[in-house]
Amino acid sequence: MIAHPLIGDTYITDIGYYRRARSHYRERPQGSDSYILIFCVGGKGWIRLDGQSPLALSEQTVAVIPPDTPHEYGADESDPWSIYWFHLKGEQIASLIQSSGLEAGPIHVSLSDSDKIRELFNQCYDLLSSKAYSASHLIHVSHTMRYLLSFIGLIPRRKQEAKTQAYIEQAILYMQERLEKNMTIDELISHTSISKQHLNHLFKQSTGYAPIDYYLRLKMQRACQLLDLTNNSIKEISVSLGLSDPYYFSRLFKKIIGASPSDYRSKLKG
């Protein structure tokens, strides 16, 4: 494996699964010559690196122990862990571990992500158990390991994206509830509890518009619905959307929609 150009950069030296590993304990005062990846799928356990405070591991948590680092780890006495584990070597492993985010500490994963990691583990385990003599199968295991580490690296980013999306949805719901009134950026900041700079950044990143620009576009979208579905005058629609000046409303509508309110209403739709 070390000599093979497609395997030597990333390969597994040891792999296993311990279920409800009561009294499980390992201590390596000199560390290991490989990276050790531990995936706790049930129960509890702990890892201590270089004499530091122990890191608690619980269900659906992934952690890594760097090479040449004194360490010890073990199962919780009352609720022993069930773990999948790998020992990993190769020139690319350090970079893959760094890009995965595991260097910063354990990562908690969702149930669906846990299922995916187990699936990838089982692929590696089954092939190493039955086809360890086959170079083509070992290449597949090496690529699967790279994929597994890169998949773990996406998890924190997806969590951040979900958090960002929650802020955006909260802000947009607040806007939609106030289409018939007016809203200031300070009110929106107070409601979302994030800074003006951060809110602007999130909105431009997600929608392409600043928050107030997006709010005005929502108003014009509602105006289109009212023009299509009611016989209300342009002035009545303008006032119903919190815009007392119908001339300003018409200019804004044309700027955003691309046609004046009267031209928009005159076009056949459906």
Q: What is the pLDDT of residues 201-242, one digit of tens each?
A: 989 988 999 999 999 999 999 999 999 999 999 999 999 999
Higher pLDDT, 90 or 156: 90
Q: For residue 127, what are the CA distances in angstroms to 90, 140, 211?
A: 19, 9, 52
Predicted local confidence at residue 154, as pLDDT: 85
Residues in contact with 239: Cβ distance below 8 Å, sequence separation at least 6, in sequence order: 246
2 burial level (CB within 10 Å; 0-12, 13-18, 19+): exposed
CATH class held by domain 11-158: mainly beta
CATH number for the segment(s) 177-270: 1.10.10.60
Residues in contact with 217: Cβ distance below 8 Å, sequence separation at least 6, in sequence order: 209, 256
User: Is a pLDDT exceeding 70 seen at residue 270?
Assistant: no
Q: At what angle do helices 196-207 and 185-192 cross, to 10 degrees?
A: 90
> Residue 1 — very low, low, confident or very high, per pLDDT cuts 50/70/90?
confident
Predicted local confidence at residue 243, as pLDDT: 94
- In the chain, what are the domain boundaries? 11-158, 177-270
Mean pLDDT of the 102-110 span? 89
Cα(75)–Cα(83) distance, integer angstroms: 9
Nearest C-alpha neighbor of 62 from the set 78, 47, 77? 47
Residue 207: alpha-carbon gap to chain centroid: 19
93 burial level (CB within 10 Å; 0-12, 13-18, 19+): buried
User: Is a pLDDT exceeding 80 seen at residue 269?
Assistant: no
> What is the token pair recorded at 22?
């009561």
User: Is a pLDDT exceeding 70 seen at residue 244?
Assistant: yes
